[in-house]
Amino acid sequence: MRVLVTGGGGFLGRAIALRLLARGDEVVTLGRTDQPALRAAGVEVFRGDIGDHAVAHAAVVGSQAVVHTAAKVASWGRAADFHRTNVVGTQNLIAACRAHKIARLVYTSSSSVAYNGTGDVEGIDESHPYAARFDAHYPRTKALAEQMVLTANAPPLATVALRPHLVWGPGDTQLLPRAIAAARAGRLRLPAGPPKLVDCTYIDNAVDAHVLALDRLAPDAACAGKAYFISQGAPLPMAELIARVLAAAGAPAVDKTISPGTLYLAGCLAEAAYAALRIRDREPPITRFVARQMTTAHWFDIGAARRDLGYQPRVSIEEGLRRLTASRSSLGPAT
């Protein structure tokens, strides 16, 4: 079938596009920039801003399904920018799917939609409510977009939302490069205090979840109109996970620690300084959202994804780390 993958130039979107192409699907991607490598592989690259109604409608023409990974991902920035891409862009895509009779829409959400940032989140499932407050525009707008996608589930359009948690692996252009850069600059600190368990998702497992959802989605499917947490299903202490990933990526070891309260205060002060200076086009060295993520437990029950999607994290953390070590040069810049 012909599948539109929005955000095809991103880490996850690119991996999904290449997986679909490899199995024989016709793939078109939508993004702001050209993607020569995808084009060379045989992917049709459509350039444009998903926040533009006309662009979203033009991009879906001829497709039978859409995988919507495009998003503005950051812990700092202008509220209007997050709203345009994450909320208006999703609204545009839903309208385009309906207008052009697209049968399936798989939405890449975030586990942070259920994370209040005020304490540990341990083993929750999809019955857990949306967060009542957010420390950043990203999770707030992702929660709004997810609710729109799930509400849109009605014949002939079937929808599903996936919530992959901390996606990493070779080719990462965000999470790993930032951590590596901070470690090399001597700016990274490990959280002090009792160990906090966190889970993550190796890139191939995140791709598996999206392809499974795409193939199973139908108006009467068990997954239609639902959201699913996606992860390794194997939480580790935050400090251990960071140390193992940095070692596999060839980054220096980090032995300095910082208390949760001090780290959160640093995030508050950094955000206040950036706001006073009206700096919105780059992130502070630490934000409240990142501080909370670093110092609280966050892992999830993936039983529903196993049951309804047939999802299994095929690549273990150990195997993922071995692949990361073998592919160190594939880690992109922290931009």
Instruction: Tally DSSP H helices, then E strands, for the chain.
Output: 13, 15
Of the candidates 107, 138, 202, 228, the residue annotated as catalytic is 138
Handedness of CA 289, 292, 295, 298 (dihedral sign): negative
Q: Nearest 5°: phi and psi at 161?
A: -120, 135
| DSSP letters spanning 193-207 | SS--EE--EEHHHHH
Cβ(178)–Cβ(334) under 8 Å?
A: yes
Angstrom distance (rounded) from CA 28 to CA 60 = 9
Strands (E), 48-156: 65-68, 104-108, 121-124
Alpha helix stretches (DSSP H) within 128-259: 137-151, 175-184, 203-216, 238-248
Q: Check if 274 is active-site.
A: no
Tell me which residues are annotated as active site: 138
